[in-house]
């Protein structure tokens, strides 16, 4: 299969909030349609993070070939730039084998990479990075305003990380945030030319809450605390994405004496429900128009991505 044929193919994306049932429905659809699964979950990359991520079991991984699962050690953080490069390579490999591609996961920033560019190519000089890092937040915002006389647009000036990133790029490029945004919007994404079918699974809120509670109970029973204890000396705490992940951060807090063991279950459940609320808002507002598929109304896997009418 040549590159032109690959780029004209269809990518199927299945997303939805945590605990909605993406894993099982993805497996069923992939088995029925001869697909391989490309993970779009920012935590399934890491080896050893199994229980707290609800990673597919060995049996589930054997049912369908998976890509970008267990591809990083905890000491090797993944970012969106590396994800896009590896995901594109995986897509090409799958399609050249004559298989379909099913992307599944709920990590919004990674999902967005299938619809357009997600990272610019401004390389930040270490000296500039060090200089900006030495500024206070008010100093960095003031400097940004000097470099952007037309304003800062929608930049969240209360978010230190975003302010620092914006200032670094303005200093290095010599361009304003508006100019950088315009240039960024004109760049093609890594998957430009692909046809993308996006579906989002949903459940009744009460049903989803019940599933979240059951998932947390199962994680604790299967040894989540022990998993965190084992991973802590392997770099868990030093990996920001991993250490902040729900389930892991609460156990780390408990082990540090900051959270009573008696409150661990309730804290994980509450934080998971808060995450689901954020996910739902993000899916509705940040992703292109797509199909919402109520799980309770699914007659079968073909209801997720129904064939075009007349076929």
Rg of the chain over CA atoms, in angstroms?
21
pLDDT in tens, the chain (311 residues): 333 444 458 999 999 999 999 999 999 999 999 999 999 999 999 999 999 999 999 999 999 999 999 999 999 888 888 999 999 999 999 999 999 999 999 998 899 999 988 777 778 888 999 999 999 999 999 999 999 999 998 888 998 888 998 999 999 999 999 999 888 878 888 898 899 999 999 999 999 999 999 999 999 999 999 999 999 999 998 898 899 999 999 999 999 999 999 999 999 999 999 999 999 999 998 899 999 999 986 768 888 998 765 44
pLDDT of residue 3: 38
3-state secondary structure of 211: helix
CA distance 119 to 109: 10
Tokens of 161: 């990380």
Q: Could you give the CA distance from residue 283 to residue 184 in angstroms, rounded to a whole number?
A: 22
Which tokens sit at 181? Answer: 């945004």
Instruction: Give the integer Cα–Cα distance in Å for 115 and 79.
Output: 17
Q: Of 109, 98, 89, 49, whose CA–CA distance to 73 is shortest?
A: 49
Cβ pair 292, 200 in contact under 8 A: yes
The whole-model pTM stands at 0.83
Q: How many CA atoms lie within 13 A of 72 on its CB side?
A: 22
Domains of the chain: 3-117+189-303 (3.40.50.300), 126-186 (1.10.20)
């Amino acid at each position: 299969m040549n590159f032109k044929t690959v780029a004209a193919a269809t990518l199927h994306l299945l997303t939805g909030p945590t605990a909605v049932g993406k894993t099982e429905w993805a497996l069923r659809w992939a088995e029925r349609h001869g697909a391989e699964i490309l993970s779009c979950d920012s935590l399934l990359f890491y080896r050893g993070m199994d229980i707290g991520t609800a990673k597919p079991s060995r049996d589930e991984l054997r049912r369908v070939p998976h890509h970008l699962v267990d591809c990083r050690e905890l000491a090797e953080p993944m970012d969106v730039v590396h994800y896009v490069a590896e995901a594109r390579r995986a897509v090409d490999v799958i399609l050249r084998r004559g298989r379909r591609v099913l992307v599944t996961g709920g990590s919004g920033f990674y999902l967005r990479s299938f619809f357009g560019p997600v990272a610019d190519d401004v390389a930040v000089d270490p000296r500039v990075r060090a200089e900006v890092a030495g500024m206070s937040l008010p100093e960095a915002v003031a400097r940004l305003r000097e470099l952007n006389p037309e304003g800062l647009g929608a930049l969240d000036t209360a978010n230190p990380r975003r302010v620092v990133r914006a200032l670094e790029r303005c200093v290095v490029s010599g361009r304003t945030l508006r100019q950088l945004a315009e240039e960024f919007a004109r760049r093609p994404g890594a998957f430009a030319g692909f046809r993308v079918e996006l579906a989002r699974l949903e459940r009744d809120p009460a049903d989803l809450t019940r599933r979240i509670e059951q998932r947390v109970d199962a994680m604790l029973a299967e040894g989540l605390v022990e998993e965190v204890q084992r991973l802590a000396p392997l770099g868990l705490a030093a990996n920001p994405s991993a250490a902040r992940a729900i389930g892991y951060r609460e156990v780390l807090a408990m082990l540090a004496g900051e959270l009573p063991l008696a409150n661990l279950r309730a804290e994980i459940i509450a934080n998971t429900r808060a995450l689901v609320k954020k996910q739902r808002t993000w899916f509705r507002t940040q992703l292109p128009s797509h199909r919402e598929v109520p799980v309770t109304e699914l007659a079968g896997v073909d209801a997720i991505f129904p064939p075009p009418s007349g076929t």
